[in-house]
Chains A and B, each alone.
Chain A
Amino acid sequence: GENVEQHPSTLSVQEGDSAVIKCTYSDSASNYFPWYKQELGKGPQLIIDIRSNVGEKKDQRIAVTLNKTAKHFSLHITETQPEDSAVYFCAAIYNFNKFYFGSGTKLNVKP
């Protein structure tokens, strides 16, 4: 099956700085890569996703890049705000039915 590794496990940045979270995957057949944000006591919420036929996607302050050859993808958050503090999960999927999640990154944005 798929194996997704995520780094770093914790990330602390100053408000206004950028944050980058990286994931690698093992199954070259994976073709869909969503990122989820999970706040304390809540379920994961999709914040951005990318398909394997696209190299980069942006949505306001967040962007995701995908390198299919190297089998890694990254989440970039610019101009971080305290409300961005949460746990972020990447995932890799082949057939849209079985999501393999990374182990999560706890982002702390210091005001």
Chain B
Amino acid sequence: GAGVSQSPRYKVAKRGQDVALRCDPISGHVSLFWYQQALGQGPEFLTYFQNEAQLDKSGLPSDRFFAERPEGSVSTLKIQRTQQEDSAVYLCASRDSTGTGIAKNIQYFGAGTRLSVL
């Protein structure tokens, strides 16, 4: 596809359930980012991959959050034992990071997955 694709668009989980959120970046994009966006707030950084390497996971709120990108393309954000405070929109963004000029640094966002934990 032409843009960043995220699935599912909506996810309802019971407290304590595990969830997995998928991100398909723009083809060929080297860098991939995950953000958490609470209602009425700006996105907050969770983690960053360059190819398959997770270079920064300082934003993950707890060890219940885990992200992977095993082949350097599709990424999955997993949340174990979900809690009500995990309810948010989870955004994925990808970036080319190659070539020259400022355009290589632009992050392109998906539409997000809205997670509701009951």
Contact = CB atoms under 8 A, between A and B. Distances in A.
A103 B106 contact: no
Q: How large is the interface on B (under 10, 10 to 19, 20 to 34, 35 or more residues)?
A: 20 to 34
Interface stretch (A63-71, A76-84, A92-100): A92-100
Contacts of A32: 102, 105
Query: Which of B43, B56, B102 has the most C-beta atoms of chain A within 10 angstroms of its own C-beta?
Result: B43
B18 interface: no
Interface residues of A, number: 24
Interface in B11-55: 31, 33, 35, 40-45, 48, 55
Contact of B56 (A42, A45, A51, A97): A97
Contacts of B91: 43-44
A99 B107 contact: yes
B41 A99 contact: no
Contact of B42 (A34, A42, A89, A98): A89
Contact of A43 (B4, B48, B59): B4
Interface in A1-53: 4, 6, 32, 34, 36, 41-46, 49, 51
Interface of B: 4, 31, 33, 35, 40-45, 48, 55-56, 58-59, 91, 93, 102, 105-112
7 contacts: A6-B42, A41-B111, A42-B111, A44-B91, A45-B109, A49-B106, A51-B102
Interface of A: 4, 6, 32, 34, 36, 41-46, 49, 51, 89, 91, 96-104
